[in-house]
Amino acid sequence: MKQTTRLVAIISLCFVLASCTFLGNLSLGSYSPDLVDDKERMLQAGDSFFYRNRDISLTNRSANLSFRGFHGIETLYRLDSDQGGTVTISTSSSVDTTHYKLVLIDEVRQEVVTLIQGSGYASHTHNLKAGRYHIKTVGYDVGGTVSMSLSAGQGVTVSTQSMR
């Protein structure tokens, strides 16, 4: 009887340890620090991301993100411009690594413009040609806070894309 109890306890402990190891590495195998510089992956149409913890406030004019353990690429905004227009994007970030970027993607011309990398503040006005654009957050094992404000001129429609 003692041996059976001991065997059940050992098997149970093995299952618990295996489960903890599996959950700790859930879906992180496809991410690497190189993701932050992988323009081809940023240009792809779908998102792939994981957060250990995230709090987000997103409107058509501003975004406030607070997160830990972010890995991947997530689209925050879609901008449509029928005949061209301007958009001013102001960003402020305080993150714990340089493996983090906010980028503006020109879907038609397949171009990637870095809005901010790592921690800091930036404000730029972009002259958009007719087409579709995306603002994406890209990172590898990053935590911190990011704030962004958008001011779109005539001819530019802004819509939120992120899942809340």
Q: What is the pLDDT of residues 4-61, one digit of tens each?
A: 666 555 666 555 555 544 444 444 556 788 888 999 999 998 899 999 999 999 998 9
Domain edges within the chain: 32-160
Q: Is the dihedral of CA 136, 85, 63, 102 positive or negative?
A: positive
Q: Does 2.60.120 match the CATH number of domain 32-160?
A: yes
Q: Does the pLDDT of residue 74 top 60, yes or no?
A: yes
Amino acid at 133: Y
Query: Quick one: 155 exposed, middle or buried, by C-beta within 10 A (0-12, 13-18, 19+)?
Result: middle
Mean pLDDT of 122-149: 95
Most confident among 8-22, 82-96, 150-164 (mean pLDDT): 82-96
Q: Which pTM value belongs to this model?
A: 0.80
